[in-house]
């Protein structure tokens, strides 16, 4: 049911995932029909960060919040421009639209996660060029500086390594808020590990659905 006049059809477009250091634009669209716009307000959580009121002078106003860099010049109300986002900018954002005549109000909220991808492939250390049956393999796989922490997986000849082979280490938090992840592997080489006298080890690093890299 669509009203003959008044505010309806509010839609908020906010990226679910944003890369740290990049600019991000939020969009807020709506239909007013015969009514007029009184104000558009943007919130981070419960805190108002930007307001557009066409009847006021100046029409735009930003509200300081530590770690947030809202561009008043590039924001229009229907768009909110965040410059060089950081991890503190992750969270819930709301667009509130208020009609002028009726003061009918609609608000919609969406989440954004700010991430930082590893700068390089996972690094494998401790592996020798040749092994014989009965030898012990002790290796580590490291994925450097990501946010959130990367997930590491070891593979032996294309199959996930057994849980008993794995050695898990505490996450290391870096100075810039990113995390370094390390996953070790320790096992004795058995005949079943050899495929045509070849033993292949691989480690993959994944981050949500946006990053996948491997090393062998």
- DSSP-derived 3-state class of residue 115: strand
Among 72, 74, 69, 73, CA closest to 86: 69
Sequence-separated (6 or more) residues with CB below 8 Å from residue 131 = 137, 189, 199
pLDDT of residue 173: 95
Among 82, 81, 76, 106, CA closest to 94: 106
CATH number of 123-215: 2.60.40.10
Instruction: Give the integer Cα–Cα distance in Å for 158 and 40.
Output: 54
Interior angle at CA 5, CA 3 and CA 6, nearest 5 = 95
Indicate the fold that domain 8-115 takes in CATH: Immunoglobulin-like (2.60.40)
List the pLDDT tens digit at each of the 216 positions of the chain: 444 457 778 999 999 999 999 999 999 998 887 788 999 999 999 999 999 999 999 999 999 898 899 999 999 999 999 999 999 999 999 999 998 888 889 999 999 999 999 989 999 999 998 888 999 999 999 999 999 999 999 999 999 999 999 999 999 999 999 999 999 999 999 988 887 788 899 999 999 988 899 998
The sign one gets for the Cα dihedral 32, 36, 42, 46 is: negative
Contact 17, 73 (CB under 8 A): no
Sequence-separated (6 or more) residues with CB below 8 Å from residue 39 = 51, 52, 53, 96, 97, 98
Among 117, 137, 140, 120, CA closest to 129: 137
Stated pTM of the model: 0.83
Instruction: Give the integer Cα–Cα distance in Å for 167 and 201.
Output: 15
Q: Domain ranges in the chain?
A: 8-115, 123-215
Contact 145, 117 (CB under 8 A): no
pLDDT of residue 137: 93
pLDDT of residue 5: 57
Instruction: Give the integer Cα–Cα distance in Å for 171 and 175.
Output: 13
Q: What's the half-sphere exposure (Cβ side, CA atoms, 13 Å) at 196? A: 2
Q: Do 123-215 and 8-115 have the same topology in CATH?
A: yes
| DSSP code for 157 | T
Tens of pLDDT, residues 36-86: 899 999 999 999 999 999 999 999 999 989 889 999 999 999 999 999 999
- DSSP-derived 3-state class of residue 66: coil
């Amino acid at each position: 049911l669509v009203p003959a006049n008044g505010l309806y059809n509010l839609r908020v477009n906010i990226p679910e995932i944003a890369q740290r250091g990049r600019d991000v634009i939020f969009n807020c669209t709506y239909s007013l029909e015969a009514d007029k716009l009184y104000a558009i307000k943007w919130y981070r959580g419960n805190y108002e960060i930007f307001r557009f009121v066409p009847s006021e002078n100046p029409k735009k106003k930003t509200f300081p919040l530590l770690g947030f860099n809202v561009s008043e010049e590039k924001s229009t109300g229907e768009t909110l421009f965040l410059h060089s986002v950081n991890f503190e900018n992750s969270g819930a954002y709301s667009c509130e639209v208020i009609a002028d005549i009726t003061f009918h109000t609609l608000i919609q909220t969406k989440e954004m996660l700010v991430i930082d991808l590893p700068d390089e492939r996972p690094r494998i250390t401790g592996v020798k060029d040749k092994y014989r049956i009965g030898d012990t393999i002790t290796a580590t796989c490291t994925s450097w500086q990501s946010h959130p922490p990367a997930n590491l997986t070891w593979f032996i000849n294309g199959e996930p390594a057994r849980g008993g082979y794995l050695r898990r280490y505490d996450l290391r938090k870096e100075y810039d808020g990113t995390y370094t992840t390390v996953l070790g592997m320790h096992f004795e080489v058995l005949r079943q590990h050899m495929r045509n006298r070849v033993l292949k080890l691989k480690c993959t690093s994944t981050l949500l659905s946006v990053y996948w890299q491997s090393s062998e």
